[in-house]
Structure 1
Amino acid sequence: MILRVGNASGFYGDRFDAVREMLTGGELDVLTGDYLAELTMLILGRDLLKDPAAGYAKTFLRQMEEGLGLAHERGVKIVANAGGLNPAGLADALRALAERLGVPVRVAHVEGDRLPPRLGVLAANAYLGGGGIAACLAAGADVVVTGRVTDAALVTGPAQWFFGWRPDDPDWHDKMAGAVVAGHVLECGTQATGGNYAFFTEHGADGPEGLGGPDGPDGPYRLRRPGFPLAELHADGTAVITKHPGTGGFVDTGTVTAQLLYETAGARYAGPDVTARLDTVRLTQDGPDRVRIDGVRGEAPPPTLKAGLCRLGGFRNEVVFVLTGLDIEAKAALVRAQVEDALGKSRPQQVSWELVRTDRPDAPTEETASALLRLVVRDQDREAVGRAVTGAAIEPALASYPGFHVTAPPGRGAPYGVFESAYVPAGEVAHTAVLPDGTRVPVPVPERTRPLEPVPEPPLPEPPPVPAGPVRRAPLGRVAGARSGDKGGDANVGVWVRGEPAWRWLVHTLTVDRFRALLPETSELPVERHVLPRLRALNFTVTGLLGEGVASQARFDPQAKALGEWLRSRRLDIPEELL
């Protein structure tokens, strides 16, 4: 038996047509959609404050205008976490839509992730596992919507239901870990099929015909519209990652490796269902656009569930001064001194300046002759980041550096959010499956748990790390791929190579100290290195790089999406044999 699970959404705002494309493009048993991220929960929390009937991903409901009928015709189950903070409300809206469309589908939902209200917190949600989804499908649901579940639960739930896996099976943890790994690969949609891929130029991303040239799965611009991924799951927990025939993009061990490293850390990848051992994952190219995942081992999950807390952090404002031509540093110093003097006693609680040298000498255009000086202010009081800052930034316009102007006038200041992680005992969370007939079924917590512990770094591979011969100064990205992302205020950077000699060199060369030297912004922050030999990969976690999380916009790249590409651009001595 094979369970074919496809994905049609990696975030709230992903390609709208993906639901139709996945339902009509090939064989499928279950279609999933991941709509929730840390920032999304904050957005939905604000929606819920304005309207108690809101709090779910409205895009999903619009997609179901066509998707419900298509899925019913093809016998495809739909499982999505689009319920956000109001899965019951979304389930009711889906029933009303199905009745209006005349599509006889049975809708169920999963709830219990919302934690008791906390002072100042817009949304507090525990990450649930796949048990509630499995119970809804077993009761005959055609559509299951959830609130906050782990991204992988969208796959572990259907897998439990389809294969009849039970916690008392002797290989329960291994099978579930295999489903978790498959789910993690699918969760970000086209990131598994060539999207955001470090080596994209090797796969038809450039060529003489330009963007108007031939497209399609074999054309030079097949990355213009990558197809969404699907997993063929087997009863033993193994899987093959692929995509529908005739769709763009590509699937190979590199795209799957990159996604496995995304927003993970060490060898133990913990969840409410199981702790998957990423250091046991084995990837094999199984044909064109097919990657087999096997060998995955699992352990009992931790006794606690991770929870996400979203709250308003205060108010924020921003001004970007444009500095053109000569004397950039002096111009920046002058306007900074003027603004600081003007703020005086009304200075906001947090004031940060950043000079971005986008200028070039003897530039052929005014824009390329210009640098940007970015002022960001934060305070609990909206007025403190509003009029006072506007006046301080704009009043010197005729009394400051030559060529004074800003990219846009400052506004009144806008609220910003903060994401925090917490952990709660699993037994305190009322994980509940609400079946199509309204019956409420409690989902039991795992009987076996294991506290989470780091895996010691394995012995470094031999023979000696550096191949004999000359070295050349070159960007790290000439031999290594990377993918990076955020978890609250922390960032991770996964780095991998594609051959054994390169792996021996990388694991000996890219130490924590070298990582900090290549990325000076991390030099004063805690950095951990995790070694994953089977993936020929290193995963670095940087604590505190993103301040209070993406919604606080504490950094130029607030989700660390391009941190890995910055690392790949940095130069070091690389053996010519590898280049």
Structure 2
Amino acid sequence: MTLRIGNASGFYGDRFDAVREMLTGGEVDVLTGDYLAELTMLILGRDRLKDPSAGYARTFLRQLEECLGLAHERGVRIVANAGGLNPAGLADAVRELADRLGLPVRVAHVEGDDLTGAYPGSLTAHAYLGGFGIAACLDAGADVVVTGRVTDAALVSGPAAAHFGWAPTEYDRLAGAVVAGHVLECGTQATGGNYAFFQEVGGRDLTRPGFPLAEVHEDGSCVITKHPGTGGLVDVGTVTAQLLYETGGARYAGPDVTARLDTVRVRQDGPDRVRIEGVRGEAPPPTLKVGRTRLGGFRNEVVFVLTGLGIEDKAALVREQMTRALATRPPAEVRWELARTDHPDAATEETASALLRLVVRDPDQEAVGRALSGAAIELALASYPGFHVTAPPGKGSPYGVFEASYVERGAVEQVAVLPDGRRVPVPSAPGTRALEPVPEPAPPAPPPQGPTRRAPLGHVVGARSGDKGGDANVGVWARSEEAWRWLAHTLTVDRFRALLPETADLTVVRHTLPNLRALNFVVEGVLGAGVAAQHRFDPQAKALGEWLRSRHLDIPETLL
């Protein structure tokens, strides 16, 4: 018995037509959509300040207006976390839509995640719930289930638990579904999107990858695939990349189960089919994660263009001028970054130019607005030769801060609001286990010695990186046993820091996942206060892995 679960959204703003594509492209039993990210919660929080009835992903409602009849006709159940901060409001809106369309659709929602009242000063504070609230709604006959802040993987584990009747203590099965959900959650990242080896998939159309499906089995194993004829590809590499995305150690903790990523086994199971099996699970930790957002203050920036000769001296001059101009009321935080995009003897003015970025932050909008704008513009005729900026600074915009904390499970009362209006409490996990690091496994045998050549790391390994609050992860994997032996012995924490100097003063933790031939590096604090604070050039660390792959080191010629 197989449950086919498809995904039609990896973030708020993903491909609008994906819901229709998934409903018409092939067989699917449950269609999920992930609309919530840390930044999205902040955006929805600001929406709710303007309109208390807002707070959910309106795109989802527009997608249903086109496709709810199609889903009902085909018997596809829909589960999405598009409820955001207001799942009850979205559920009501879906009911009104169904009535207007004349469809007998049963709608339910999950609530209880909102803890904002317990965190003064927070714009939003929401606990990450698991999948059993979703399961209760489906067991009661719901055709559409909307939730607030659940884990991304709960969108898959909840329907699987309902379909197969899993008990809360069947940890291996639940863990398998969580892993399947983690692969699906970011949509086309599992089918060739953002893939390190995209240049090597000859004959495959990566311009419009199809969205992924998981064929989940009763024992918790699954096959990742996609609808026939859709773009992209599903292979061990694309699935491994997504397994490593935004994870930490070997224990992947969730509200219902802790999945052991070091037990995951993947293998090709035919064209565009990858089997995931062997996943072991453990009791979840005794606390639930709470994601909190707040307004951190105001942010502004100006980018000075430095052209031709004397780039460093030009940068030093304008930096000194701006420092003096802002001395009366300096912003609370000032960051300068010089990007040497210039080339010697360049054939175009743009390629002869470097970019000097000044970013300021302060609780007071005036300190980053008019003061910065005036100081920069007044230098137009009084600074380095060739002075100009990419755009004049504005008045400053608010930025957000994401913080994670943890609460005892008893502080959170998850409730499934069924199609008939009944409110059913969802019990917490029957058992828990403290989250502890998995001991580092024994390394593989060292690779044989031989001649080496200086080359980019990415000629041998793939990588994918992403954000978790203020931290970033960089997952790196090898595609052969020989390359894995070399990678495991070569890419130490010290080597990682040397290759990425921006991490040199930060805490970097390496985790080893031999079954995936992978290393996962967690870089603590590299993103400051999270994506909404735009702490660095790449605020979500999406390209950190590609930077690592571009760095050169001595690589055995046999691997090249």
Normalised to the residue count of structure 1, the TM-score between the two structures is 0.96
* 1:110, distance to aligned residue in structure 2 (A): 0.3
| Secondary structure, aligned partner of 1:547 | coil
Of 410, 434, 445, which residue of structure 1 is paired with 2:393?
A: 410
Structure 1 regions of 5+ residues with no counterpart?
Answer: 205-219
Q: Take 1:311 and 1:167, find their aligned partners in 2: how far apart are those partners?
A: 34
1:429 maps to what in 2? Answer: 412
State the one-letter code of the partner of 2:186: C
Report Cα offsets for 1:220-247 as digits up to 9, x if no partner. 4600000000000000101000000000
Distance in 2 (alpha carbons) for counterparts of 1:175 and 1:417 = 38
Mapped to 2, the partners of 1:366 and 1:22 lie a distance apart of 47
SS of 2:188's equivalent in the other structure is helix
Distance 1:235 1:354 in 2: 53
> What SS class does the counterpart of residue 327 from structure 2 fall into?
helix
In 2, Cα distance between equivalents of 1:377 and 1:160: 48
1:271 deviation in Å? Answer: 0.1
Residues 46-125 of structure 1: pairs in structure 2 closer than 5 A: 46-117=46-117, 118-125=119-126
Residue of structure 1 equivalent to 2:31: 31
TM-superposed deviation, 1:116: 4.0
Please name the residue that 2:531 is paired with: 550
Provide the C-alpha distance between the structure 1 equivalents of 2:114 and 2:168, rounded to a whole number of angstroms.
25
CA RMSD of aligned residues (A): 0.7
TM-fit CA distance, 1:282 = 0.5
Letter in 2 for 1:520: P
Residues 1:249 and 2:232 are matched in the alignment: yes
Cα displacement string for residues 486-543 of structure 1 (whole angstroms, at most 9, x for unaligned residues)? 0000000000001111001000000000000000000000000000000000000000
Q: Which moved more, 1:363-372 or 1:4-13?
A: 363-372
TM alignment of 1:191-206, pairs within 5 A: 191-204=189-202
Contact map agreement 1:432 1:440 (CA 8 A) in 2: yes
Deviations along 1:292-351, whole A, 9 cap, x unmatched? 000000000001001100000000000000111111111111111111111112111111
Q: How far apart are the structure 2 equivalents of 1:363 and 1:175? A: 59
Structure 2 counterparts to residues 341-360 of structure 1, below 5 A = 341-360=324-343
* 2:430 alignment partner AA: E
Number of the residue aligned with 2:465: 484
Hey, what does 1:439 align to over in structure 2?
422
1:577 and 2:558 aligned: yes
Partner of 1:209: none
* Pairing partner for 2:323 from 316, 340, 359: 340
Q: 1:531 aligns with which of 488, 506, 512?
A: 512
* Contact kept? 2:488, 2:519, Cα under 8 Å: yes
Letter in 2 for 1:199: F
Spell out the pairing of 1:37-436 with structure 2 (5 A cutoff): 37-117=37-117, 118-168=119-169, 172-204=170-202, 220=203, 222-436=205-419
CA shift at 1:467, angstroms?
A: 2.6
> Helix, strand or coil for the counterpart of 2:323?
helix
1:212 aligns with none
Kindly provide the CA deviation profile for residues 361-399 of structure 1, in whole angstroms up to 9, marking residues without a partner as x: 111111111110000000001111111111111101101
Distance in 1 of aligned mates of 2:448 and 2:475: 23
Q: Which whole-Å deviations, capped at 9, do the CAs of 1:246-296 have from their partners, x for residues lacking one?
A: 000000011000000000011000000100000000101000000000000
Superposed CA deviations along residues 395-452 of structure 1, whole A, max 9, x for unmatched, are 0110111111111110000000000000011111010000011100000001110000
Q: CA deviation at 1:119?
A: 2.1
Distance (Å, rounded) in 1 between the aligned partners of 2:464 and 2:485: 20
Letter in structure 1 aligned against 2:106: R
* Alignment deviations for residues 190-229 of structure 1 (CA, whole Å, 9 cap, x no partner): 000000000000013xxxxxxxxxxxxxxx4600000000
Quick one: which amino acid aligns to residue 48 of structure 2? L
Instruction: Give, in whole Å, the separation in 2 of the partners of 1:405 and 1:198.
Output: 36
Counterpart position of 1:6: 6
Unpaired segments ≥5 residues, structure 2: none
How far off its partner does 1:85 sit?
Answer: 0.1
Deviations 1:149-206 (A, max 9, x none): 00000001000110011135xxx000000000000000000000000000000013xx
1:46 shift after superposition: 0.2
For the 8 Å contact 1:467–1:575, the answer to whether it is kept is: no
Taking the aligned partners of 1:494 and 1:245, their CA distance within structure 2 comes to 29
Once the two structures are overlaid, the 10-residue window that deviates more, 448-457 or 220-229, is: 220-229
Question: 2 CA distance for matches of 1:167 and 1:157?
Answer: 11
- Match for 2:481: what amino acid? E
Question: Paired residue for 2:521, among 514, 536, 540?
Answer: 540
Partner SS, residue 222 of structure 1: coil
| Higher mean displacement: 16-25 or 339-348 | 339-348
- Partner SS for 1:396: coil
CA distance in 1 between counterparts of 2:8 and 2:522 reads: 29
Q: Contact between 1:467 and 1:577, CA under 8 Å: does it hold in 2?
A: no
* 3-state DSSP of counterpart to 2:156: helix
Equivalent residue of 2:98, what SS? helix
**Structure 2: how far apart are the matches of 1:104 and 1:53?**
25
